[in-house]
Structure 1
Amino acid sequence: MNCIKNKTELEENGYSILSDLYSDYEIKQILACIENTEQDGNSFMKTKDLFAIRQLIKNIPELTDLLFNTKLTQLLSELSESEYFLTKAIYFDKPNKSNWFVAYHQDLSISVDKKADLKNYLNWTIKQGQYGVQPPIEILQDTITIRIHLDKTDKNNGALKVIPKSHLKGIVRTNSKDWNIENEFICEVEKGGAMLMKPLTLHASDRTTNGKKKKGNTFRV
């Protein structure tokens, strides 16, 4: 793991890929912790195309120590010049015959603990008791998304696609001429690896076509 290289790539391109954040044993522990949890609350979403858990750490607090291992905490310390804290955590499992896909977009919302009348905080929402809001662009620019891959992910089972350097253009309308698909890069990640991403990086994912599952956790700090 080369934290300096990852930090440079993240700042310049809007994303970076790591290959060895978790061992096979650590992944087994993480998956066992999720599988042994009672999954009947509003934060657990199950369809034929997707199994997701919102507010992951709140619902499964035992995952905290498993996910924030030595390598991840070291990485975060190197990436952030100031104190960091978790704002959102989601787990998802894309079944092997999933037709679920996500079109190109930016992540413009953050999770907060309460609603407040703050200047330039827009588009308030509430889902399963969790408030969301679009903050000033400076907050989004200072946020890092970490996508932890519990399965190997490639172009055939929903690997994330990104438009490199699109985060440098601020908030972009997806029908504008400020980006085009010719610059698209497919972020293939090994099992136990992770992808770092700026929320303003345009990204998308396709349907699964090779019959393989895709499990992962997404964090924002």
Structure 2
Amino acid sequence: MTNTPEFQRNGYHLAKGAVGDAPISEWLRAASRRMESAPEGLVSRHGEPYAMRGIVAQCPYIAACIRESILPRLIRPLLGREARLVRSLLLDKTPDNNWGVPWHRDLNIAVKNKGDVPGFNGWREKGEGWYVEPPFELLQKMVTARIHLDDCLADDGPLSVIPGSHEWPSLSWESIVERANDAEASEIHAHRGDALLMRPLLVHSSHRALKPSHRRVLHLEFCAEELPAGLEWCD
């Protein structure tokens, strides 16, 4: 079960074996085909792709698995029957793109169109859509699922989280880092097919892989809320 006191208190839960090995293999094949045939949405550095935006919308098999399995089993117990996928992103750490990120919260959402809407700030155009920071209250109602397509252990650049930090108030980035450095962090070790469910306001970071090869993660964001004033979710 995902909707447990531990998830509510800590802001995350590792669902082991959420996706079987055969579907994961097909997901990877579908994603590879799409990345090779459709460069739109690819995010690259030094000529090497390390992410693809909107991957689920472009891969019907992955979309069907999420609709038929991930949503009813893992997400709707947390967000209710109206929960839907609102953003998807395929991430990979490779020897050529062995990136890390400092302590932060996920404060931006992806939408199709820009609008002058109170409480939505910091508009930036990326790829096929726009990124914007919505009201804090909306972020509190979202859940992210990180589906691990490869093992992600101590040497693979795993995610570190600050349990309970999703309950911290709205803070500046400097205050977040200061608090995180004084808190006890948990490093999330996951195997292929495990799903890390987390609140986007959970403070988290990721260091560079010590032995980089592939560390592929399907990053999925879910929400049950409609956006105001004609704004539309990307996925």
SS state of the match for residue 92, structure 2?
strand
C-alpha distance after superposition, 1:82-135 (max 9, x if no partner) = 511222100012115643111111111111121222111111111113111111
C-alpha distance after superposition, 1:5-47 (max 9, x if no partner) = 3xx3332111111111111111111011112223442311233
Q: How far apart are the structure 1 equivalents of 2:190 and 2:182?
A: 21
SS state of the match for residue 43, structure 2?
strand
TM-score, length basis structure 1:
0.89
Unaligned runs of 5+ in 2: 223-235
2:42 alignment counterpart: 44
Q: How far apart are the structure 2 equivalents of 1:63 and 1:4?
A: 24
1:27 alignment counterpart: 24
Q: How far apart are the structure 2 equivalents of 1:39 and 1:202?
A: 35
Contact residue 172 and residue 178 of structure 1 kept, 8 A: no
Contact residue 19 and residue 191 of structure 1 kept, 8 A: no
Structure 2 residue 211 is the aligned partner of structure 1 residue 210:
yes
1:3 Cα shift? 2.8
For 1:205, the aligned partner's letter is S
Q: Which moved more, 1:58-67 or 1:159-168?
A: 58-67
Q: How far apart are the structure 1 equivalents of 2:109 and 2:140?
A: 12
For 1:112, the aligned partner's letter is V
Q: How far apart are the structure 2 equivalents of 1:141 and 1:28?
A: 33
Q: Which moved more, 1:125-134 or 1:35-44?
A: 35-44
For 1:22, the aligned partner's letter is V
Consecutive aligned runs of 4 or more in structure 1 exceeding 4 Å deviation: none
C-alpha distance after superposition, 1:174-218 (max 9, x if no partner) = 322443354111011121001011111111101111344211100
1:147 Cα shift? 0.4
Q: Which moved more, 1:43-52 or 1:151-160?
A: 43-52
Q: How far apart are the structure 1 equivalents of 2:122 and 2:105?
A: 15
2:79 alignment counterpart: 80
1:171 alignment counterpart: 170
Give RMSD over aligned pairs.
2.0
User: 1:154-193 to 2 correspondence within 5 Å?
Assistant: 154-176=153-175, 177-193=178-194
SS state of the match for residue 65, structure 1?
helix
1:101 alignment counterpart: 100
Structure 2 residue 11 is the aligned partner of structure 1 residue 14:
yes
Contact residue 86 and residue 221 of structure 2 kept, 8 A: yes
1:60 Cα shift? 2.9
Unaligned runs of 5+ in 1: none
Aligned sequence identity (%): 28
Q: How far apart are the structure 2 equivalents of 1:79 and 1:169?
A: 20
